[in-house]
Amino acid sequence: MKQNADNYKGSEVTMTPHGEVDALYMALALEEAATAAAEGEVPVGAIIVSDDRVIARAHNRPIALHDPTAHAEILAIRAAARYAGNYRLSGTTLYVTLEPCLMCAGAVIHARIGRVVFGARDPKGGAVVSLGRVFADTRLNHHVDFTGGVMEGMCAEILSSFFQQKRL
């Protein structure tokens, strides 16, 4: 797979070599996002998979934890590293309902995650295809394959519904 924005298809379920599997794991990430929404957190969920096994799942918790770094991706990476007994997560895939921000994209690179699959684009903070293209930067010491737009409509809907409720 190429490591640039060409992987972003923008369809409900991106048909990649991983197609149905990506949708299955993204559905689990959406469950985590729903938990975040129920807790009053921005509804973003993340799953980390290794060898066809979920090794970590998390959702946004910056409000509850009083921690601006408690994004779903960061919490999932921490849990996966504990599970693996290693801060390097080579060969894993991160599924996340929203395009990772710069902080989370950096953590993915430092953790050596092999692939990221995200649902909705983040036009205000996305560092993969929207505002930046961190994973496409060939100067970095680790390169991450990515696919965007997996279950994009559902991932975007949970976010927009959450913010509509906040505005009421």
Pairing of the two strands 53-59 and 45-50 = antiparallel
Active-site residue identified among 20, 31, 41, 73: 73
73 is catalytic: yes
**Matching residue, tokens 């991932």:** 155
Torsion angle (degrees, nearest 10) of CA 13, 16, 21, 22: -50
Q: Where are the beta strands (DSSP E) in the chain?
A: 45-50, 53-59, 93-98, 115-120, 145-147
CA dist 98 and 121 (Å) reads 6
**Matching residue, tokens 């921000």:** 101
Give the residues across from 95 on adjacent strands.
Answer: 47, 117
Host H or E run for residue 158:
helix 152-167
CA dist 55 and 67 (Å) reads 23
The catalytic residue positions are 73
